[in-house]
Amino acid sequence: MEPFPCYSRLAPESRRLVDTHAEAVRLQSGAELFGQGDRCAQVLFLGEGSVRVFRLHESGQEITLYFLGPGEQCNVNLNSAFTGTPAIGSAVADGPISGYLFPAEIVKQIYTAERDYQHYIFALFAKRLECMAGLVEDVRFKKLDDRLREWLHAQNTPRIPITHEKLAAHLGSSREVISRLLKELEHHGVVTLHRGMIELL
């Protein structure tokens, strides 16, 4: 647990709780951590890898809310675990991941006792709130083709391994619309499309 924020500053009793109840987990890409509507009984501390958190609409379309990185916890997971309410989104492993699972009650005990951990949680919520505000702003004020270009360039690599369907899920659109926009970009010499791969020119 050493890589996680606050661990070294926990009081001895809180550290014993962490060491006693930590359940090491390793999951493959695509594994679901929890689904939208689930009531989370455990909280994940992500050690390695990336987790995609997304919202599913009744139409079947998805939109990515945020990605969870190493040393972080998921706000949707925390909120459901702390309040006993259904999760407002789903979380899946975006590649192989490893970390630790804890019973929700243990995490709540540590949160109540440890000020540093409280600050860590509030910092996470502030980060996600800023992310959500940016998402709302993008969806409301930016055209989809501009958002698509920005997303492609934000990957910082000329070869992006992704399907049109998954890219549509990130941007909250349909595969058909994203495929049409990508074809337009290819026509203008911006990208070359391969099976399961987008190459920036």
Task: Give the CA distances from residue 127 to residues 82, 83, 122, 132, in Å, rounded to whole numbers and listed in that order.
Answer: 19, 20, 9, 9
DSSP for 155-177, please give it.
T-SSEE---HHHHHHHHTS-HHH
Give CA–CA dist 79/69, Å, rounded.
Answer: 18
Mean pLDDT score of the chain, rounded to an integer? 89
Structural domain spans, the chain: 7-140, 142-200
**What pLDDT is attached to residue 1?**
66
pLDDT for residue 146 is more than 70: yes
**pLDDT tens by residue, 133-144:** 887 877 777 888
pLDDT for residue 188 is more than 90: no
**pLDDT tens by residue, 94-121:** 999 999 999 999 999 999 999 999 999 9
Report the CATH fold assignment for 142-200.
Answer: Arc Repressor Mutant, subunit A (1.10.10)
pLDDT for residue 34 is more than 90: yes
pLDDT for residue 3 is more than 70: no
Report the CATH fold assignment for 7-140.
Answer: Jelly Rolls (2.60.120)
Percent with pLDDT over 70 in the chain: 99
